[in-house]
Structure 1
Amino acid sequence: MQGLELSRRFYLTHRDALLRPFMPWQEHIAAGLVGFGSDRFGFDDAISQDHDFGPGFCLWLPQKQFDTIGVKLQAAYDALPKTFEGHATAPASRRAGQRTGVFAIPAFYATFLGAPALPVSDADWLQIPEYLLATACNGQVFEDTPGEFSRWRRQIAAYYPERIQRRKLAQAAGRIAQTGQYNLPRSLARGDAVAANLMLAEFIRQSCLLAHALCRRYAPHDKWLHRSLARLPGQQTLHAQLAKLAVTAPQDAAAQIAEVSAGLLAGLIEAGFTEPGSDFLEHHVDALLEGSTETR
């Protein structure tokens, strides 16, 4: 059983007893599991259970209600059983911080956004590392009758404004061109194996980033970037191509790089971001940037 399902069952088992003393405030409480950890993304496996694994959940309240009952509700949460279905609950740590328990909604989102407010300007959006935006809207909301937590979640998950999406696409396309299409063969011609391997790895990474931007999905941390790709609509072929490319020696990768690049370009053309022409992705950067510098 993965951690997200384990935590959902833990919540449903203890919900009534936990919240019964807080009946007057129940209509203000949302519950679920969102935030840091592979289990929130549904990427956890047996290896993941060596740290920060175990049943637990989050309770989110508007600031006013948190100020009123937050401490008492946290104490009630802390009194829950320390094991469930054979798994010990994951303790908080100084390095990991609080990942489960009771949170004020603005403070919870401030952990990922850097401020207790939703992004407004382009600068607001661009100063937030993308993996934190992915983290802010992962996991599951088990219930949210008041809807305030989910309102924040929906607005973040709606993705960047189009001009920032275009900027992300242009950055990735330019890097794909410079690493795989240009610098990799030059590194091989110079006999520089280190540079060639670095270029191939960055080509794979940037291909994943472009696909996420094309699908309007935030890219998670690098270690989950390829696994996340498999869940994107229409990207299963790319997922398989990159898995094959990752175990290919740089000197044997030219045909695969050309195939991946052509597929990414076809996706950009189909979405209306550029037009057919050169197969060198750098030549499409200006078209991708079109309209990306407008102010909000």
Structure 2
Amino acid sequence: MAEPFVPGLVLSARLWAEHVAPLLAAHFPATPLAAALLGAGSEVLGFDTARSTDHDWGPRLQLFLAEDDRAALGADISAMLSERLPKEVLGYPTHLVTVDGSSAHSAPRSPTPRSGNSRSSV
């Protein structure tokens, strides 16, 4: 693990700015999308500490695509990111395994959209 502790919001911002955004711009330049860090986790509100790193924590974000784009491109985007993202950002792994054993970097998820958008965890 990296020393000293780097907050999750900083890691996620670096993941986006230095890796995810340039990859998406190069491989899917015409695809409108948004990115955010949402959901459960102390890092979402900036309350994470070094102790947070022992569970479901690390550089991560969600991508939001229109439903049609998610259906047409979601698997391709996920595969490209899986292949091209670095294994670490500032010493913290980008390919996470959650406490339930699932991968946090996985194929796009499709929760029931409220406004026609779907998200994908990266």
Shorter-chain TM range is 0.7 to 0.9
Q: Among residues 9, 20, 30, which one is paired with 1:4 in the alignment? A: 9
The structure with the greater share of residues assigned to strand is: 2
Q: Which residue of 2 aligns with 1:20?
A: 26
Do 2:97 and 2:104's aligned partners in 1 also have CA atoms closer than 8 Å? yes
Note the alpha carbon deviations across 1:46-102, whole angstroms, 9 max, x for none: 110112222122211011110111000001121211111111225144727564566
Q: Residue type of the partner of 1:16?
A: P
Give, in whole Å, the separation in 2 of the partners of 1:42 and 1:56. Answer: 14
More relative contact order, 1 or 2 (CA 8 Å, 6+ apart): 2
Q: Distance in 2 between matches of 1:6 and 1:69?
A: 26
Gaps of 5+ in 1: 111-115, 119-147, 150-296
**2:61 match:** 57
Q: Which moved more, 1:73-82 or 1:34-43?
A: 34-43
Alpha carbon RMSD of aligned pairs, Å? 2.6
The answer as to 2:51 corresponding to 1:47 is yes
Paired residue for 2:92, among 87, 98, 107? 87
Give the deviation of 1:36 after TM superposition.
Answer: 2.2
Gaps (5+ residues) in structure 2?
Answer: 1-5, 118-122
Higher helix share: 1
3-state DSSP of counterpart to 1:9: helix
1:32, 1:57 within 8 Å by CA — same for their partners in 2?
Answer: yes
Quick one: which amino acid aligns to residue 49 of structure 2? D
The 3 A distance-change label for structure 1 pair 60 and 99 is: farther
Give 1 or 2 for the bigger CA radius of gyration: 1
Q: Which amino acid aligns with 2:51?
A: I
Task: Report % sequence identity.
Answer: 31
Aligned length in residues: 110
**1:36 equivalent in structure 2:** 40
Change (3 A) 1:66 1:73: same
2:100 maps to a residue whose letter is: R
